[in-house]
Structure 1
């Protein structure tokens, strides 16, 4: 029986040793897994440096975009009126010819017709660029979004608060007012 006990004890020791080895191997495997997981996960320093790099790249891209758009705006502003000016040069030429012709001619009617032709040419050039003259008549209601009252004069009851006279025409470019129409408004007597 002693032998059986010793045998059982030896078997238990062997089993315990094997269990300890297996347990030790499991612990080592877990440590290896944790280390590999740690090495695959970026540290906070890595994440911070990556975020800084992304920030610097984005900031640089934005600065380049801002500089490029500023340069484009300046170029656009400097050449914005180029087409309009090209359209007005022939009108200036016509005025010069009319002035030269008026020195030698005494025919007022022909001079007037020439001036009307030049004015029509100028109006057409400006109209093609979107400049429109406001159509304002005596008796229209005063609207401070389009009109500028330069004075008020006593007027008939039906013209109170309405336009009595147009001193200077107003102009719009698209929907924006370029120059307000200067008008005289009727006041109560």
Structure 2
């Protein structure tokens, strides 16, 4: 039996040696495959650089765009809060114009109103012109009510402007409130 055991041990040893040789060959093959050439390394690094550069350029453009937009609309909240003051001035001027004895008062209020409104215009505020008889446009006007049109040609058109609209640059900050004919 010792010969049989020796033969079995020898076969087991041979199998183990064969397995080790195969593993060594696979490791050598893997090592050869894992090592990239200098051209490949250069290409991957160049690709990484180009992607990073493009990402940085996009970041710069986005922040510049955001900064410009911020400058354009920085005073929008302040302008919106000052619009009721402009409305009050206009109502006061309308009321004072009816009183003949208050001519000096009207001149003083008109002077203050003009100075105040000119300052707002210098900061980018402009009035949206809305007149009776204009065609109603839902993108520009805000309809607060509809009444029967006094004539056929005023159907679907503006009959009265209740509150004036304003814009800052190209952005509308308050839509004109209008009454339209039905």
Q: When the two structures are superposed, what TM-score results if normalisation uses the length of structure 1?
A: 0.48
Q: TM-score, normalised by structure 2?
A: 0.49
| Structure of higher CA gyration radius | 1
User: Which structure has the higher relative contact order (CA within 8 Å, separation 6+)?
Assistant: 2
